[in-house]
Amino acid sequence: MTRVTLKEVSKKFGKVVAVDKASIEVDHGEFFTLLGPSGCGKTTTLRIIAGFEIPDEGRVIFDEEDVTFKKPYERGCAMVFQNYALWPHMTVYDNVAYGLKIRKVPKEEIKKRVKEVLDLVGLTGLENRYPLQLSGGQQQRVALARALVIEPKVLLLDEPLSNLDAKLRLRMREEIRKIQRDLNITTIYVTHDQEEAMSISDRVAIMRRGRIVQVGRPSEIYMNPRNLFVATFIGRSTALRGSIEYIQGRRVKMRVNEKLTITGKLAEDYELSVGDKAIAIMHPEDFTLKVEGESNIIEGVVELTMFLGPFTQLRINVGDQNMIAYIDPEYEVKTGTRIRLAIKEEDVIIFPLIGWEEFEVETIT
């Protein structure tokens, strides 16, 4: 049970700023996730916590102790590597027992603890296999067991599921979460998969270009993205652009074209005035075909339909812009027909129209 604090940590590799003044506080027993696109500095941050890199600036603190300059082998945190890093010349047993042998734990106790942890991850009976004789999922479990067996202060996981197939990924994710809950270990998890992050974590830190842009509970981040980057990175999003027509507190009305206005809430930390250019970010799954009594009604022509299983994706043209919406697949919608959709005001977040080009917003063109 350890509290992990990063204070204004920065790390450069040559000219590349990998981590830029990152500050986080991870609580006792918390499951904390670093989420961000590839190259945003997640692994580097994790490696700074593990002690494989030392920051150019800033401090790493475990509980009250400053460990910034401690060697990796003095930190007592255990890491699960993306490629598992199992030692091919040792059996499963020896891999798992390694950390205990280093700690000079008596032989009998090593046996007992290895057995317990292998039970925990569901690998009983595979003690004498070599890593190359295991499936990807089993290797993953060995890596986890090897980290857990030393009862680390902090468990660090760097994209531990990215080498598994989709089904196994879902299962392992639940298991990791369950084990973490049971053992109550402070855990820092790295992933670029936002769904994974949202489903597994107590709290998530969204990283971008080495900076931490928002920290919060998954639902908080989903409902109240701090900026356009978070809004578009979390979940799928679609957008409409326009200019502000009316402001009432945090509630704003944006005109998209002569026929269409859309009302939503102004993003936190931003201010807008009437006439400013703005962008409304919405989640495609928030649209509904039941338009009676709703204030936000969007009318457009269906350009393309795509059946995606649990829903049908529509590409809708509203004058000069396109947007995306998901509807119940029970409704049959033909391309070329006109359609009316509604969305709740609280599901529309409006940002000033700055720098939107770089984000992955569906059909923004």
Partner 1 sequence: MIKRSELLKNLKVQMFYLDPVLVTQLAFPTLMLTLFLIAPIATVLLVSLNYNPADIFTDPTYVNFNPRGSPITIRLITFRGREFILIKISGVSLGIIMNSLVNSFIVTICASILGIVVAFVMARYSFPGRTILRVLAMTPLLVTPFINAFVIRKIFDWRDGIISWIIGDVLHLPYRIGIEDLAGVAITQIMTFFPIIYLNVYSSMINIDPSMEEQAENLGAKGLKLFRTVTLPLSLPGLAAGAAIVFIFSLEDVAAPIVFNEKRFMSYHILERFLEATTGQLSPVAATLSLILLILALAAFIGIKKYVTLKQYAMLSRGGRWSPRIRRLRLKGLIVVYLFILPLLLFAAFPQIGVFIYALAENWADPLPYGFTLEHMAKIVEDPLVFRAIVNSLTYSILAIILIVAIGVSSSYVIARARIPATDLLDILVTSPIALPGLVIAVGYFYFFTSIFRGTPLDPITFGPALLLSLAYSVRRLPFTARAVYAGLQQVHIALEEASLNLGASRLKTLVSIVIPLIGINILSGALISFVYCMSETSVGITLGGLKGVGEEHQAPISFIMMDYLERVGGPHIVASLGVLLISIQLLVIVLVNVVFKQKYAYIGV
Q: Which residues bind partner 1 (CB under 8 A)?
A: 50-52, 54, 56, 69, 71-74, 76-79, 81-83, 85-89, 98-99, 102-103, 146-147, 150
**Beta carbon nearer to partner 1, 163 or 261:** 163
* Integer Cα distance of 322 and 248 in angstroms: 27
Angle between helices 166-183 and 136-148 (to 10 degrees): 20
Interacting partner of 331 out of partner 1, Mg ion, ligand ATP, none (Cβ under 5 to 8 A depending on kind)? none
Could you tell me how many residues of this chain bind ligand ATP (CB under 6 A)? 12
191 binds Mg ion (CB under 5 A): no
- Which ranges constitute the DSSP H helices of the chain? 42-50, 92-102, 107-120, 136-148, 166-183, 194-200, 218-223, 228-233
294 CB burial (10 A radius; 0-12, 13-18, 19+)? middle
Total residue length of the chain = 365
**Beta carbon nearer to Mg ion, 33 or 43:** 43
Quick one: DSSP state of residue 241?
E
Quick one: DSSP state of residue 291?
-
Pick from 75, 192, 226, 253: which binds ligand ATP (CB under 6 A)? 192
**Beta carbon nearer to ligand ATP, 41 or 242:** 41
**Beta carbon nearer to ligand ATP, 42 or 141:** 42
Positive or negative, the Cα torsion across 78, 194, 271, 211?
Answer: positive
* Integer Cα distance of 31 and 47 in angstroms: 17
Find, among 8, 120, 137, the residue nearest to 60 by Cα: 8
**Beta carbon nearer to partner 1, 77 or 239:** 77
Binding mask 30-69 for Mg ion (x = CB under 5 A): -------------x--------------------------
Minimal distance, residue 352 CB to ligand ATP, in Å:
27
Minimal distance, residue 143 CB to partner 1, in Å:
8
- The stretch near ligand ATP (CB under 6 A) out of 42-50, 115-123, 138-146, 330-338 is 42-50
Residue with tokens 């026929």: 259
**Beta carbon nearer to Mg ion, 194 or 305:** 194
- Which residue number has the CB closest to Mg ion? 43
Positive or negative, the Cα torsion across 265, 271, 275, 276?
Answer: negative
- The stretch near ligand ATP (CB under 6 A) out of 40-48, 92-100, 218-226, 243-251 is 40-48
- The stretch near ligand ATP (CB under 6 A) out of 37-45, 242-250, 283-291, 355-363 is 37-45
